[in-house]
Amino acid sequence: MKKNSRILIQGAGVAGLACAIWLGRNGFRPVVVEKAPDIRATGGFVICLSGASYRFADELGMMPALKQRDTDIYSASYHNSKGSTLLRLDYKELFKGVDFIQITRDEIEIVLYENAKELAEYRFSTSASKIEQVDSNKVQVEFTDGKQEEFDLVIGADGLYSTIRKLAFEESEVINHYLGLQVAAFKLENIAGLDHKFEYHMDRNRYMVLYSNRDGKLGSVFLWKSDQRNPVPIDQRWRILRESYQDASPLYKNVIEHFSDETPMYMDNLLQIEIKKWHKGRVVLLGDAAHCMTLLSGQGATTAFIDASHLCKSLIAHEPEQSFEYYEQKMRPSISKIQPATRKGAKWYIPETRARHFVRDSAMRYLPDSYFMRHFKKKYSRV
Ligand SMILES: Cc1cc2nc3c(=O)[nH]c(=O)nc-3n(C[C@H](O)[C@H](O)[C@H](O)COP(=O)(O)OP(=O)(O)OC[C@H]3O[C@@H](n4cnc5c(N)ncnc54)[C@H](O)[C@@H]3O)c2cc1C
């Protein structure tokens, strides 16, 4: 694609900021629009970079800064609803020889933004409100502040509920897979006294993960069965979480009842997005906007980073149409495997029947730890 081309990137998350770095460093003129008022406004849960995303981050020279912010979690333990230990994993052993770091999402974004901020123009509290393909090479975009501009390419990196997807694609082109689960995540004081550790508490219809953070706080993620399909308003989130865990053991309740209703908290439904083509004209979708796999895949951030890297590296040498095809060829085979595998796996995370619950807990208790070590090592080695 011609150097100097103006490229709109909507969304300053992992995918969008990675695009800004690749494109800005290679002579393009990216404009990043982000609906949040600043870069640190997103959640602080742990995500990991491994495989190709690790190598691309290294190629961009970001590894030293990312490693400095590694959560340094060395172990994980899994417990049943009565608190008995089912499985222990030693991460130092598990990830020996694997390119892998764990870092909170806000910290990845800080490192990405540090690298990207001089390479693009940023407009916060803004979003595209209308997109029109002017001809085969130009897209006219109208923004929420009323401005109108032409771009050579539009990248939709605006996450699960992507506005670019809604503006450029027909509703009938998008398949929504609801997993029937809801997630909440927030930080609190380290009341569990965890040290460099993940602790999974697995009930039948719900679970809770606690983990230690670099800042001394305790991270928590809750996952439970739910028919909820609409985003939950902020002022109702604590009530819904409390109701969903009202008959849980005190361990869960101590964490949940730590806060007042006013404390901000991340809450969402688990929803996968499937679209036959990730591009249309001069508009292309990346990351969760194109193919959200949900947190249960454990690979959403990794994949968003790889998407951005394949697409942008190709744009340096090729026309957009060729680059879109290249990006789809590289990414679609793995996404097509991960999405259904994650849906299947969800049934084991939150078993619907007592029999499945029994099999899950027994497998974790009686299969050798080496079985799980091999499983996780393979998963994080291949992306
Ligand atoms: C609790 C939890 C745990 C997770 N754990 C892992 C893990 O272990 N490993 C892993 O790889 N992944 C994990 N994920 C998934 C991972 O966070 C996402 O898949 C990844 O962040 C997707 O990146 P993205 O850039 O596509 O989208 P996002 O990170 O969602 O970024 C989208 C950006 O677009 C902005 N935006 C949205 N709409 C608009 C708009 N209309 N206009 C302008 N800007 C807009 C948003 O504010 C945001 O900044 C987890 C997710 C959750 C919720």
Which of 142, 211, 288 gets mutated to test ligand 1 (max ligand atoms within 8 A of its CB)?
288
Distance 141 CA to ligand 1 centre (A): 23
pLDDT at site 204: 81
Q: Which residue ranges does the chain devote to CATH 3.30.9.30?
A: 178-270+348-382
280: Cβ contacts below 8 Å, ≥ 6 apart: 168, 169
Distance 325 CA to ligand 1 centre (A): 24
- Atom 51 in ligand 1: residue holding the nearest Cα: 295
Distance 15 CA to ligand 1 centre (A): 8
pLDDT at site 383: 55
Which of 35, 54, 91, 182 gets mutated to test ligand 1 (max ligand atoms within 8 A of its CB)?
35
- Atom 38 in ligand 1: residue holding the nearest Cα: 158
**CATH number listed for the domain at residues 6-70+101-176+271-347:** 3.50.50.60
Beta bridge mates, 88: 77
Q: Which fold has domain 178-270+348-382?
A: D-Amino Acid Oxidase; Chain A, domain 2 (3.30.9)
How far is C-alpha 349 from the chain's CA centre? 18
Ligand 1 environment, Cβ below 6 A: 10-16, 33-36, 42, 45-48, 105, 127, 157-159, 163, 183, 185, 221, 287-289, 295, 298-302, 304
Which of 158, 211, 307 gets mutated to test ligand 1 (max ligand atoms within 8 A of its CB)?
158
pLDDT at site 42: 59
First to last CA, the chain: 27
pLDDT at site 322: 98
- In angstroms, rounded to a whole number, what is the distance separating the alpha carbons of residues 98 and 245? 37
Q: pTM value?
A: 0.94
Q: Which residue ranges does the chain devote to CATH 3.50.50.60?
A: 6-70+101-176+271-347
Distance 292 CA to ligand 1 centre (A): 9
For residue range 355-378, list pLDDT tens digits in order: 999 999 999 999 988 888 888 877
For residue range 339-352, list pLDDT tens digits in order: 999 999 998 888 88
pLDDT at site 294: 96
pLDDT at site 175: 98
Segments of the chain scoring below 50 in pLDDT: none
**The token pair that represents 212 in the structure block:** 């230690």
- Atom 4 in ligand 1: residue holding the nearest Cα: 295
- Atom 21 in ligand 1: residue holding the nearest Cα: 301
CA nearest to 275, candidates 294, 295, 289, 258: 289
Could you tell me where the beta strands, DSSP code E, fall in the chain?
Answer: 6-10, 29-34, 46-50, 75-79, 85-90, 100-104, 121-124, 128-135, 138-143, 148-151, 153-156, 174-188, 197-202, 206-212, 218-225, 266-275, 279-280, 283-285
**The token pair that represents 189 in the structure block:** 């004081």
